[in-house]
Amino acid sequence: MDIQNIGMVGGGKMGKGIALSAARAGYSVIIHDITEEIASQSLLHIGQTVEKLVTKNKLERKEAGALLSRISCTGSYAGYDQLDLIIEGVPEKLELKMDVLAHLDTLCREDAIIVSNTSTFSITTLASATQRPQLFSGLHFFIEPTPLVEVIRGYYTSEDTVASVRAAAEKMGKTVVETKKDSPGFIANRVYTPLFLEAFRLYEEGVATIEEIDKAMENSYLPIGPFRLADIIGLDTLKSGLDYYRSELGESWRAPQCLSVLIRAGRLGRKSGKGWYDYT
């Protein structure tokens, strides 16, 4: 499919970032938010982000105006029946995603591709909420400035669908990897999550402090320590993923008690101002 028009369901930090990448690549983008008021705030925030790019000489003023003209935000699903590709980017809650995807399936053209930005859940399971499993895949974007995007096949995902979503991501300037088999966590999270777990356990066992573990990893193998990265991702999001991995892959993926304690205390990471570290 020749993709021209894209819908982004969910205007959070990730959703706005994906929409901006798509618009910079020349796509027309509609962002759906919960209410018109929130949608207006999303559009304002995108405008501020674009203005910063202009100020830093990373974007020409004329290009910025054209880019913003390609983005609209709405509290409804107006225009979604005209879209070629719809990206679901609501919070990592399986039931919520299934409900949203089932609704999208009734709104969109029969030949439209629907993808999920999930970092965790089975694409085959998510596709079952729709009547178009062959036109459904995972398209997992990462937090900027990481350029990686994972294209994930569900059991019924067609080759044409994979080719179309891969081409769209590459047009956005992303580095694309493809998973050949639907598996929890896909590639990057499946490899990286055990590192989180081991770091948390080292701290829980009193082997080293949070700061020392992060310092060790940042000065040896990683650009950012596991505790700092966990705070960026969101500890509740991380815990939700671990609970799902445990249900699918076994007890070795159980979330450590120290993570659960922080979540109960409302320390969810950067978004709440406090996580493993304090940001306020």
Q: Contact at 8 Å (CB) between 69 and 28?
A: no
Q: Is 30 helix (H, G, I), strand (E, B) or coil?
A: strand
Cα 85 from Cα 144, distance rounded (Å): 21
Cβ-based neighbour number of residue 71 at 10 Å: 22
Bridge-based pairing state of the strands 148-153 and 136-141:
antiparallel
DSSP letter (8 states) at residue 269? B
Hey, which residues are catalytic here? 119, 140, 150, 189
| Residue 190 tokens, joined | 């499946």
| Residue 200 tokens, joined | 């948390």
Cβ-based neighbour number of residue 81 at 10 Å: 10
